[in-house]
Amino acid sequence: MHFRDLNDTRTLIELSQSRQRAVVVGGGFLGLEAAEGLKRRGMDVTVLHRSSHLLNRQLDPDGGKLLSDALTARDINILTSTSPIQLLGRDSVRAVQLNDQTLISTDLVIIATGITPNRELAQSAGMICGRGIQVNAQLQTSAPDIFALGECCEFNDETFGLVEPGYQQAKTLASVLASPAEGAAYRPSVTATRLKISGIPVFSCGQQAPDEHTESLVWQDFATGSYSHLLIRDNRLVGAILVGNTSQGPWYQELITGNTNIDLFRAQLPFGKPFCKAA
């Protein structure tokens, strides 16, 4: 079954009363929440994730590994770089065949592999579509009198699976429709992802992977399981990944969006705002 809404959640609760084993396909936020919920209801749970680490759109490999270790300690089986190729069974599923030909016995399979933009209606009407319905900075489709926003649209080759960009697009479109002469335009801003997976706080903002133009400040407290990876370019913070202790996340987001020069407190940056102010 797919895991997308409240009715799916109710169905999972009901099924968990008569099933013993579950496989969750997808190591994103929804998949991990489903896995944790089923585990709490007494099921043996395995998570399959095709990327090399969990939450690969929010975390770097080390942060993903830290999260994976924490979930494994909660007796959730995590398999990364793994995809299902076939569900086996007659009247109901009995096993999942993986891309390495391994078989995993299961009574339930949950698919939580992210959003797919709903573009079919627009495409059948002749509008230009890529992965989603293509729009310009005014959220206007290739049909001038039709606009699109949220998960169904595509802007500058990017689609959107979080609610915050949808709010920003709605605000832009309201301005476009109410006051066309003002020239309102959608400009994607730096948005932060704040999650709590099985009680483990996760924060991600800005660039999440280093490149040839960035430097990394990495700090980890093995005793508490806290981890931070800060990415810096030209003495500006451009990305922040936090696992465990995320209390400084909002301040890091301010530094990123404000393009603040951090040269005076660079050495103290991983320890947060109080240490940086003292410096």
Domain boundaries along the sequence of the chain: 6-111, 120-182, 192-278
Q: Does 120-182 match 6-111 at the fold level?
A: yes
DSSP result, 18-47: T--EEEEE--SHHHHHHHHHHHHTT-EEEE
- Tell me the pLDDT tens digit for each residue of 55-109: 988 899 999 999 999 899 989 999 999 999 999 988 888 999 999 899 999 999 9
Q: How far apart are CA 44 and CA 19, in angstroms?
A: 9
Q: What is the CATH number of domain 192-278?
A: 3.30.390.30
Written as tens digits, the pLDDT of the chain (279 aa) is 676 778 888 888 888 888 899 999 999 888 998 899 899 999 999 999 999 999 988 899 999 999 999 899 989 999 999 999 999 988 888 999 999 899 999 999 999 887 789 999 999 999 999 999 999 999 999 999 999 999 999 999 889 877 888 999 999 999 999 988 888 999 887 778 888 887 889 999 988 888 889 999 999 888 888 899 999 999 999 999 999 989 999 999 999 999 999 988 988 899 888 888 887
Q: What is the CATH number of domain 120-182?
A: 3.50.50.60
Distance, in Å, from the CA atom of 254 to the CA atom of 258, rounded to the nearest integer, reads: 6
The partner residues of 229 in beta bridges, in order of sequence, read 218, 241
Distance of CA 136 to CAs 64, 106, 108, 166, Å? 34, 46, 42, 15
Q: What is the pLDDT of residues 102-129, one digit of tens each?
A: 999 999 999 988 778 999 999 999 999 9
Question: pTM of the full predicted structure?
Answer: 0.78
Q: How is domain 6-111 classified at the architecture level of CATH?
A: 3-Layer(bba) Sandwich (3.50)
